[in-house]
Structure 1
Amino acid sequence: MTLTLERGQKLVVASHNEGKVRELRTLLSPFGLELVSAAELELPEPEETGSTYQENAELKALAAAKAANLWALADDSGLSVDALDGAPGIYSARWGGPERDFNNAMVKVHTELMQKGAMGPGQRTADFVAVLCLATPEGESACFEGRVSGTLVWPPRGDKGFGYDPMFLPEGHNRTFGEMTEDEKHAWAPDKIGLSHRSRAFSKFVKACCIG
């Protein structure tokens, strides 16, 4: 399905996660859209009952679009650790407990890897996955997935980004996402693959939705 955004159009960033909202605002800034977050509109957060990133992204986008009567863009993303059979995956935020404390979540990932004896770099491989979903109040939607592979390091390094960024070392790099600026993580171009999972999903979104 092709959904086309126009410059000047008002778009809801369907998230209450300040880190995600900030990153999506950065990515969307060149395109002349009028952005407002779900938190700013005081929209309720829907329960994430999907079993995949795509299902949860679509659920959030459709809920925000219908509640605000505006087009909405949602993100569902997470860390998939090979030695943990893909966990924490869609439950990445919930591994931080009720407060979504990602310091605790990173400790939990590291502890589970230790318990499995997965201490070498080749045993600590993981993917960051992001799915963006654009939805209309009428119930139309389109989803786009981005993925980046890397290795988990311990202790975490860097204080930039959010979530699991400080323990994720992307393939081919010597700095974690937590040590990179937003420009380094998210830089993209129509003819160039971005580094972060979110920028890779965003590149597909831009091409499909004809903005820019």
Structure 2
Amino acid sequence: MAGRVLVASRNAKKLRELQRVLDAADIAGIEPVGLDAVPPYPEAPETGATFEENAAAKARDGALATGMACIADDSGLEIDALNGMPGVLSARWSGTHGDDGANTALVLAQLSDVPDERRGAAFVSACAFAVPDGDDVAVTVVRGEWRGAIARAPRGENGFGYDPVFVPEAGDRTAAELSAEEKDAASHRGRALTLLVPALAAFAGS
């Protein structure tokens, strides 16, 4: 049963991130593939009120459409001073989906008068793993959080999204200044994917 696992994303970095987690856990027999490797299917809009709802819906859609096990994630930034926003709206906070620069600039503008001690935030990632089970799918959902604070200006060239303005707790570098390995060891998505390891290992051995 193990074999190709669909990662419901066109972001090659997410495929590599999952592969690093599989390698670190010594899980063989799983080949992550992205949406570009399968025939197109209708992707439902992300209308859930939580990261968990969106991740589960994306994973379920992918598994039902392709017959493959599917991993999907929904992640974003929750800022304390903005009452947990942008939250599930993180990717389209500025009004244009996926415009990292505009989204980051808007967050910095909204926090321009907020003092350093009140700039706390957390990256949150919900990861769902859906495995076809007869006419339905079995879905496992986990949540990872990475606490930190929002910097006053972007720094670093690695990562994506809000990484250049997020400074993890007990550190002085932004997430975009960390290596891929450093980020995996601490990040919200890395933590969530690690929590999926038991389910992935069971699937690989099935």
Cα distance between partner residues in 1 of 2:105 and 2:66 = 38
Alignment map for 1:169-180 (pairs within 5 Å)? 169-180=167-178
Unaligned runs of 5+ in 1: 1-5, 188-194
2:36 to 36, 39, 42: 39
Equivalent residues in 2 for 1:86-165, closer than 5 Å? 86-114=84-112, 117-118=113-114, 120-137=115-132, 138-165=136-163
Q: Which amino acid aligns with 1:108?
A: L
Contact 2:91–2:97 (8 Å) recurs in 1 = no
Alignment-mate amino acid for residue 38 of structure 1:
L
Counterpart of 1:11 (choices 5, 8, 15) is: 5
Cα distance in 1 between the residues matched to 2:12 and 2:100: 13
Equivalences for residues 69-88 of structure 1 within 5 A: 69-88=67-86
Runs of 5+ in structure 2 lacking a partner? Answer: none
- CA deviation digits over 1:135-182, x for unaligned, max 9? 123221010110011010021100100100010000011111100111
Task: Give the TM-score normalised by the residue count of structure 1.
Answer: 0.85
The alignment covers a number of residue pairs equal to: 196
Contact residue 16 and residue 45 of structure 1 kept, 8 A: no
Given candidates 194, 197, 204, the residue that maps to 2:188 is 197
Q: Conserved in 1, the CA contact under 8 Å of 2:27 and 2:201?
A: no
- Percentage of identical aligned residues: 39
Using the TM superposition, give the Cα deviation of residue 107 of structure 1 relative to its aligned residue in structure 2, in angstroms.
Answer: 0.5
TM-score, with length taken from structure 2: 0.88
Deviations 1:40-97 (A, max 9, x none): 2134432111100000000000000011111100011000000001010011001143
Superposed displacement of residue 197, structure 1:
0.6
Shift of 1:201: 0.9
